[in-house]
Amino acid sequence: MLCGARPYARICVFDSQTGAFLYHIGRGFHAGEHDPLNCPRALTAHQDLCFVADTQNHAIKIFNFRQRELVRTIGSAAASVHPAGALFNDPARSNRPCEFNEPVGVAFRDGRLYVSESRGRRIQILRFPNGCHGSVECLQIIPSPNGLQLSGLCISGERLWCVGKMLTDDESYMRDSHACLHLFTACV
């Protein structure tokens, strides 16, 4: 379970039988952690591994939650700080395979990692041909069907589901809450 946001984000591990809190991984910026989570939005687990969409670090972090350690980080900062202080996107970095621009959703199935990106407006399907410590291969990039930001995703059967913003002419203050559900029938 993801607990909190910046600067206190961490993964909380609970006993599956009793629901009792066991421990957490990550302590955040104030604890002097070397590579702290920064506004993570999603996680998925497979065996002893936990894949986290570390949104503001523009990366996917893989933890071994039983050993309480960071195994590896995929991606790097896709956004930079402009000298005036405003964020701007670096398209040369954020559009590359295995790089991310605000990853917000993750799912893992059959050796493949699915990552949805908010500002990248795409879904990447990745695999680790030689295990999670080896190289990462991008099998497919699916652009946002309507060109708008994407959000969380999941896999059910042979279908990939992803939440995205809906095209609308509504200019009300609630327009950001309009969402749609994208369904992809062909998973790589």
The secondary structure of residue 147, as a DSSP letter, is S
Is the pLDDT higher at 27 or at 78?
27
Distance CA 15, CA 141 (A): 36
Mean pLDDT on 93-100: 78
Would you place residue 26 in the very low, low, confident or very high pLDDT band (cuts 50, 70, 90)? confident
What is the pLDDT, as a whole number, of residue 122?
95
Distance CA 178, CA 170 (A): 9
| pLDDT tens per residue, range 137-171 | 999 999 998 888 999 999 988 889 898 876 655 54
Would you place residue 174 in the very low, low, confident or very high pLDDT band (cuts 50, 70, 90)? very low
What is the pLDDT, as a whole number, of residue 185?
66
Is the pLDDT higher at 19 or at 28?
19
Is the pLDDT higher at 48 or at 132?
48
Residue ranges of domains in the chain, CATH in brackets: 2-184 (2.120.10.30)
| pLDDT tens per residue, range 78-94 | 444 434 444 444 443 46
Question: What is the CA 30 to chain-centroid distance, rounded?
Answer: 23
DSSP 27-46: --GGGT-SS---S--EEEEE
Q: Which two tokens stand for residue 32?
A: 């002097």
Mean pLDDT on 96-121: 93
